[in-house]
Amino acid sequence: MTAFSKEAVEKLSASLQEPEWMLAFRLHAFEVYESMPMPTTNDEAWRRTNLRRFKLDEIGPSVNGDAATHAEIPSFLNQQLTADKAGGNLLQVDGVTRHYELSDELKAQGVVFCDMHTAVSQHPDLIQHYFMTECVQISEGKFAALHGAFWRGGTFLYVPKNVKAAAPFHSVLWNESGKTFTHTLVVIEEGAEAIFMDEYASSSGSGQSLHNGVIELLVGDNASLIYAGLQDFGTNVWQFNHERGRVGRDGKLDWVTSMMGTRLTKAFQTMELDKPGAWGRMSGIFFTNGKQHLDLDTQQNHNAGETVSDLLYKGALKDESRTVWQGMIKALPGSQKIDGFQANRNLMLDKTARADSIPGLEIEADDVACTHASAIGKLDPEEIFYLMSRGIPYETAVEMSVQGFFDPLMRRIPFEGIRDRIFSRIVEKINI
Amino acid sequence: MTTALEIKNLHASVADQPILKGIDLLVKQGEVHALMGPNGSGKSTLAFTLAGHPAYETTAGQVIFNGEDLLEMEADERSRAGLFLAFQYPAAVPGVTLAKFLRQIINSRRQAADPDDKGISIPAFRRLLKEKMDMLGIDHKFAGRYLNEGFSGGEKKRVEILQMATVEPKIAIMDETDSGLDIDALRVVSEGAMRLKQELNMGILVITHYQRILNYINPDYVHIMLNGRIVESGGPELALHLEENGYDWIREKHGILEEA
């Protein structure tokens, strides 16, 4: 018996009162899912992540629990973290919207910011046009297809042509059990600008749970998006994500990822630089402890000449945790005058932790500047002694040193409240 | 009551190699002591041993600071008790700004005294920082820079004295603070230290090779260290004598051959 069935797809779609086209999309995705084998360590992309102990069938789709409508919302989730004046705030609990606001000014300019189900019913044209069509495809992998069939909850942000949304958007997705299939779809049209802080978190329940998410970021010509995806799931969650950003001519995508939680994460994150002048920066912040396993597969695809990509992923590791970063910069033939950079730096806080750092280049053009760097280091005892020699206790000195390690990336998150939330999690994990 | 740093028959090793072979020295608040000696005589080892560096192992002897056993304390406790070391080569702390570091120094002291202390307020801290930076001629922009990262030798030394001014120690050890400084920087740094001596009745142990810094920080006592021991002590005239005659006469007098 499997909890993921055609009937389950139909039941989910009916419970969400979806139009026919979305049901058809889901059923097609389910067929693709069924046709694909479960990835194993024989697949190149999964060589370092073993799913043998993962009981997918026992988990099943995400359906409404009591938490969705009745559970108390943890108070920290309601804090205004982004700025004095928010463009929009959205709080979803177990896939159900519990709090929602969008500034009148942005609404009047045609900005849409809402949960994905509201988007399906109120903006069907936009969703049909963009949902898993231009960015992430259901054919990309077993978990992309599973998501297409069972996606639930998540956030839609649409900023129309030439609208410059100065005030930030902030979305918080909270889940009691961790079982989520959230979808983030961001469409920034030509000449438009936005800043979006996208947080997803859950409590640590018992037994295995699943997050199967997709993030799609579409940045048009001359458009700009600062996007931060901030993950802090419970330690029982197994996370499988497909994430992709696309950038048009002279567009900018500044993409920050923070990963603190889960038992295991496998995420594919791809930056597509489609037209000359496109600029994409990817920043990764992660901290693992206990038996956490984090496997990040990044790609910077220079699909046109005169494009710039810049990736820096930094991780700190404790206990017996393990991280894998596998990066690739690709340039199509004819993508001349590109500039691609990738770097991964890991700070080992315990000898028992392990970090694999695997950079890669596949360049088919000749007039390019592509470089990579990776490093694995430890806390510097001279630095710790120096801090202590000024009266700072050892524990605080370590916290400062780890914070310092992440600081250059933290500075890329434009809000102190968000930075503080991430850092207080890091401190918590240092001291566990 | 004045605080004193009292070193008795101190022996210390680094990587099982004995370096200090019985140091006796008494530095009281308000006094300036100069410790001179050729390279390799153990001056910096003494500084690190007193500051509590974990790589420096005390094998015998005693150090009493303000009536307490200094060697029983961790490095941070020694600092909070009022002992300060100005490093010859301060470590860079990437990612931690000078302002954040100084604020943490202040807050760690306050929280050690009162665990419920909420720390210094931002406006009060800004005022304090501005005042101390101006005193030492440090550009305010340095507050936002990562600590010692990319600082010139002179900038690092000024920032060491800025930290000294922030923690207001009872006794400060200045480990070759004069090395790598031009004459202007030397004057600013020395005047900063002397001002703290006057304001706080701070005691100073200046470790140096040269008379130059002693023109600004006038010693009451001068000690000469050779091969892990203090072999000569005297007044300021001893430093002048060394400046003219070098160390050979003292090696001869104590029957110690020059290190190869």
- What residues does each domain of chain A span? 6-275, 380-432
Query: What is the interface size between A and B, counted as CB pairs within 8 Å?
Result: 80
Average pLDDT over residues A67-95: 73
Q: What's the token pair of residue B188?
A: 């600013």
Amino acid at A271: M
pLDDT of residue A62 exceeding 80, the answer is no
Task: Give the span between the Cα atoms of A102 and B129, in whole angstroms.
Answer: 41
Average pLDDT over residues A202-228: 93
What's the pLDDT at B180?
A: 85
Listed ranges A1-5, A48-52, B157-161; the one with the highest mean pLDDT? B157-161
What's the pLDDT at A52?
A: 87
Nearest to A404 among B51, B85, B93 (CB): B93
Q: Which of A387, A409, A410 to mutate to test the interface with B (most CBs of B within 10 A)?
A: A387
Average pLDDT over residues A318-323: 97
Please state the length of chain B.
Answer: 260
A263 three-class SS: coil
What's the pLDDT at B243?
A: 87
Contact yes or no for A204/A174 (Cβ under 8 A)? no
Task: Give the span between the Cα atoms of A271 and A216, in whole angstroms.
Answer: 10
Of A70-74, A241-245, A280-284, the poorest mean pLDDT is in A70-74
The Cα angle at residue A30 between residues A24 and A34, in degrees rounded to 5: 150
Distance of CA B72 to the CA centre of its chain: 20
Q: Do A396 and B108 make contact, defined as CB atoms within 8 angstroms?
A: yes
What's the pLDDT at A78?
A: 67
How distant, in Å, are the alpha carbons of A80, A164, A196, A245 from that of A230?
A: 15, 23, 11, 16
Task: Give the span between the Cα atoms of A27 and B188, in whole angstroms.
Answer: 77
Task: Give the span between the Cα atoms of A232 and A243, in whole angstroms.
Answer: 17
Contact yes or no for B28/B203 (Cβ under 8 A)? yes
What's the pLDDT at A1?
A: 47
What's the pLDDT at B260?
A: 39
What's the N-to-C CA distance of chain B in angstroms?
46
Q: What's the token pair of residue A252?
A: 């900018």
Quote ipTM for the complex.
0.96
Q: How far is A416 from chain B (nearest CA, A)?
A: 14
Token pair 């001179």 in the structure block, residue: B36
Q: Do A391 and B76 make contact, defined as CB atoms within 8 angstroms?
A: yes
Closest residue by Cα to residue A242 from A314, A161, A311, A143: A143
Q: How far is B5 from chain A (nearest CA, A)?
A: 17
Domains of chain B from N-terminus onward:
4-92+170-254 (3.40.50.300)
Contact yes or no for A86/A101 (Cβ under 8 A)? yes
Q: What's the token pair of residue A392?
A: 């700072």
pLDDT of residue A179 exceeding 90, the answer is no
What's the pLDDT at A404?
A: 96
Q: Count other Cβ atoms within 10 Å, centred on residue B67.
A: 9
What's the pLDDT at A61?
A: 81
Nearest to A404 among B51, B87, B95 (CB): B95
Residue, of B210 and A397, whose pLDDT is higher: A397
Could you write out the DSSP letters of every residue in B126-160? HHHHHHHHHHTT--GGGGGSEETTT--HHHHHHHH
Contacts of A201 by beta carbon, 8 Å cutoff, 6+ apart: A77, A172, A173, A174, A175, A231, A232, A233, A261
Angle, helices B122-135 vs B98-113, to 10°: value is 120
Closest residue by Cα to residue B215 from B174, B195, B186, B181: B186
Closest residue by Cα to residue A116 from A100, A104, A135: A100
By C-alpha distance, the chain B residue nearest A393 is B76
What's the pLDDT at B1?
A: 64
- Check if B93 contacts A (Cβ < 8 Å): yes
Intervals of chain B under pLDDT 50: 260
Task: Give the span between the Cα atoms of A47 and A45, in whole angstroms.
Answer: 6
Percentage, residues of chain A above pLDDT 90: 77
Token pair 């003292």 in the structure block, residue: B250
What's the pLDDT at B258?
A: 60
Quick one: DSSP state of residue B91? P
Interfacial residues of A (vs B; Cβ cutoff 8 Å): 380-383, 385-394, 396-397, 400-401, 403-408
Q: Do B167 and A383 make contact, defined as CB atoms within 8 angstroms?
A: no
Q: How far is A86 from chain B (nearest CA, A)?
A: 25
By C-alpha distance, the chain A residue nearest B102 is A390
Task: Give the span between the Cα atoms of A160 and A223, in whole angstroms.
Answer: 10
Q: Do B91 and A383 make contact, defined as CB atoms within 8 angstroms?
A: yes
Chain B residues 119-158 within an 8 A CB cutoff of chain A: 146
Nearest to A391 among B92, B95, B167 (CB): B167
Q: Do A389 and B79 make contact, defined as CB atoms within 8 angstroms?
A: yes
What's the pLDDT at A56?
A: 85
Closest residue by Cα to residue A62 from A173, A158, A156: A173
Distance of CA B246 to the CA centre of its chain: 24
By C-alpha distance, the chain A residue nearest B90 is A386
Could you write out the DSSP letters of every residue in A10-46? HHHHHHTT--HHHHHHHHHHHHHHHHSPPP-TTSGGG
Quote the mean pLDDT of chain A.
Answer: 92
What's the pLDDT at A133?
A: 96
A393 CB neighbours in chain B (<8 A) are 74, 76, 108, 112
pLDDT of residue A80 exceeding 90, the answer is no
Contact yes or no for A217/A189 (Cβ under 8 A)? no
Which helix (DSSP H) or strand (DSSP E) does residue A217 occupy?
A: strand A209-219
Backbone phi and psi for residue A109, each to the nearest 5 degrees, phi listed first: -85, 5
What's the pLDDT at A3?
A: 84
Residue A266, strand partner residues: A240, A295
What's the pLDDT at B186?
A: 93
The answer to whether the predicted template modeling score (pTM) of the entire model surpasses 0.90 is yes
Nearest to B76 among A381, A388, A404 (CB): A388
The two beta strands, A154-159 and A183-188, are: parallel
Which helix (DSSP H) or strand (DSSP E) does residue B108 occupy?
A: helix B98-113
Q: Do B94 and A404 make contact, defined as CB atoms within 8 angstroms?
A: yes
